[in-house]
Chain A
Amino acid sequence: MEQSATSSLLRLTGITKAYPGVLANDAVDLSIRAGEIQALLGENGAGKSTLVKVVYGLLQADAGGIRWRGQSVDIESPAHARQLGIAMVFQHFSLFDSLSVLENVALGMGIDADAALAKRIVTVSERYGLPLEPARSVYTLSVGERQRIEIVRCLLQAPKLLIMDEPTSVLTPAEVDTLFATLRRLAGEGVAILYISHKLDEIRALCDSATILRGGRRVAEADPARATAHDLARLMMGDAVQLGDQAADARGEADAGAGVVSAPRSARLGQASPQPLAARGPVRLATRSLDLPADAPDGQALHGIDLSVAAGELVGIAGVAGNGQDELLAALAGERLASLAAQVWLDEVPIGHRGPGERRRSGLCAVPEERLGHGAVPELSLSENALLTAHHRAPVARRGPLFDRRAAQAFAEKIIERFDVRCDGPGSLAASLSGGNLQKFVVGREILQSPGVLVVSQPTWGVDAGAAATIHRALRALAAEGAAVLLISQDLDELMSLCDRIGALCAGRLSAFYATRDVDVRQVGLLMGGAATLEAVA
C-alpha cells in the first residue's frame, strides 16, 4: 500500500493534534493517490474527524507535515484547502433552509447566484447522476437531496481530493447506491476520495484501501476487498472487544457486494400478514387515531397514527428522515400534546394531555434524534445533563424546590461507566464529547431510569459498531425486563436485527406492522415508500 512521495496526491506524516486532556491524533501517517477511494476507519473519538479537519484547514496540526502533490504545504484555512483542490462534505450540512439550491451553492462558493451558475449546477448534477433543481427551496428537499447540494457544491470547484464524512448515515438504501455510483465515477476521473465511515460493509463495497485509526493512532492499513468485516472491526476496536454480539454479526456478515442493506433473511412475500399484537404481555404504549398538525413550514403533519407496543416488545418504525419521525417522537414524549387525551395511552391510562414531565413520572421516557440542543444541552456538564430528564425519576428525583446535585452526579457517573462514555468525568461539557459518546450518554440516561416505556429515535446514529452493540444490548435487556420499546430508526439493519415487529412511517402515515421474521428489507422498503400494507402491493 505504501506509495512514494511523488506518486501520492496527499501525504501526511506524523500529524499530531492535542486538545486539552486528549491526544486526538498521535503521529498519524496517511497517503492517498489520485483516483483512489480510501476509507478512514475508526470508532468514535478515534481521531478521524480531527485528521480530516487538519487536511481541510479547519485545524492546524501541532506537529507533522502535509505534502500536496509532492509539495510541502501549510493548509491554513478551508478557503486555502479549496484553492488547492481539497473539498469536503460534512456529516452535518451547512445549508439555509429558506434559500434555494442555487442560492445555497452560490453562498458556499462566494459567487453570484446567476443563471450561469444555475446552468453549471444542472450540468454537473446530471453528469454525476445527482439530479437537482436549482430553484427549489432547501426546506422542501429530503436529506438525501440536501446532501446532493453539498456534493455538487464541491464538484463545481473541480476538486482533486474529496473528503466525505459519514455520508450515508442519513440516506436510504437506494440513495446510498446512487451515491456510490457517483463516487466510483469520480474516482474513475482521477479524483481521490477519503471516505470516513464505520459501516464496515460499505467500506468493503466501495473502498480500495483503508487506514484504520484507534485512540488517535494509525493502527493499520488494510485491503478492504480481502479483509473480512470481522477483521476490520477487530482492527478498529482492538482485541479486547468480543464480537459475539448479534448486531455486530448481522452487520459483519452482510453481503458487501449488494450494497449496504442486506439482511440474512429469505424473502417470504405472501406469508407476511399484518401483525395485530404480539401475545407477549399487556399493551403499555398505544396511540389511537393520533393526528398532529405540522408546527413549522417544513414540518410534517401526522395522520391517524395507530400503534401499540406490549410489555417485553421491541417495535420498530422505519422511514426516511422528514416523514414525521420528529413529530411522532414529540407527540409520544409529550413535547406536543394530542388534541384528545384518549389519543395516547400509557399502561391503559389516557395521557394525551400530559406533558413530558408527567409522562416521565408515569414511566414513559424518550430519546430524541438530535442530541445537541434537544436531548442534551451543549454548554452544560454531563451531571447537569443527567439531571435534565432524570430529575423526574428515581434516583435523582427529590421533593421540594432544590435538586440533588450529588444524586445527579452519581447518576451521570453510572451512565458514563455502564455505557463506556469517553469523557473527562461528569463535569465535562456535553459539547466536548464526540457525537457518538454523547449519544451513548443520552441513550444510557434514559435506559438507566428503567422506564416502563422507552421511545427512542435513531439511537445509533453516528455511533460506531462497538457502541451500537452496547446500545442494542441495553435496549434488548430493557425489553426483556418487561418494558415496551419503540425504536424509530432509518437504519434498516438495526431495525431488522432488533425488533419483534416493524412498520414504516411515510408522509406522516404509519403502515401496518409485520413480524420482523416474516418480512425482508425489500418489503420494508415498500412500506417506507408509502405502501400501507404489503397485501396492497403484493
Chain B
Amino acid sequence: MVPLIFGITLITFTVIHLAPGNPVEVQTEMSLKASAQARENLKKLYGLDKPLHIQYFDWLKRFVKLDFGKSFVDGRKVIDKIIERIPITLTINILSLILIFIIALPIGILSATKQYSIFDKLSTIFVFIGFSTPTFWLALLLMILFGVNMGLLPISGIQSIDTSEMATFDRLWDWIKHLILPVGISAFGGIAGLSRYSRSSMLEVIRQDYIRTAKAKGLQEKKVIFRHAFRNALMPIVTILGLSVPGLIGGGVIFETIFAIPGMGQLFYSSTMSRDYPTIMGILVIGAILTLFGNLIADISYAFVDPRVRVSKKE
C-alpha cells in the first residue's frame, strides 16, 4: 500500500505541474502591475524557484504531516477545508452503500434463484437502464417531479434556513428530507451494478455440487439459498463493494454540485473552476487514499465472509 500511496502522490504532483502557467501567474494575472520583485517573492513563498524534484520532496514532506498548504481562494489551510467537507460526503456515501445493499442483494438473489422468470427479465431491463442513465439527468427529473411540481422535497442544500428554531425531531426530519434525493440518486447506479453482480455470483454458486447435495438431502429451499449459497456468493460481491468506492466519491462531484451539498465533490468542483491548485492536489490525494481504504476494508471483510482466508492467515 505504501508504494501505491507514493505513486499516487507522484502522479498528482506531475499532473498539476504539467499545467501551463504556475500559481504565481494565476495569482498575479489579475493585477498586471504586480512587480517583478513581488513575483519573485511569491515564487520563493511556494518554493517554485527550486528544481522540480526538490519541490516534490518538499511537498511530500509536508504531505506526510497532512499539510497541503493554503488555498489560493481564501488563504485558509487546505486540510481544514477538506476535513470540514468529509463528514457530509462520507455520510451520503455510507447511506447510499447501505441502500445499495438492502435493495440490490434481494433483487440479485431473487433473479438468480428464479432465472428467466418475469421478475428476472424485468430486473435485467432495470439493470441496463440503470447502467445507462446519466445520474445528473435523473437528479434533474426528480427535482422537477418532487421539488418543483409536487413541492414535497427541498432541491438544494442539506438543511433549511430556519433550522435553529426547530425542535430536534423536526430538525432531523428536515435533514432527512434534504438527503433523500442525493442519497437515492447516488445509490441508483450502484443498485443496478450490484444486483447484476450478485445475480451472476449466485448463479455460479447455485450450479455447484454442494448445493445439489444440500438439496438432495432434503433441506428446505430457503435454507439452501441463505445458508449454503448466499454466503459463498458474497465473496465477489464484497470485492465490488471495495471497487465502487472511487466511483461513489468521484460521482459526488456532479450531484453535490446539483444539490448544492457542501461536500468534497462540490469543493473539488469549485477549486477546479478557480484553479486552486493546493486544494486540487489535496483532494486528489485524499480521494485516492480513501479509495485504497475502501479496498482494504474489502480485503478485511473477506475474512468475515470466507473462513478459508482466516485459516490461511493463521498458518
Q: Do A and B come from one complex?
A: no
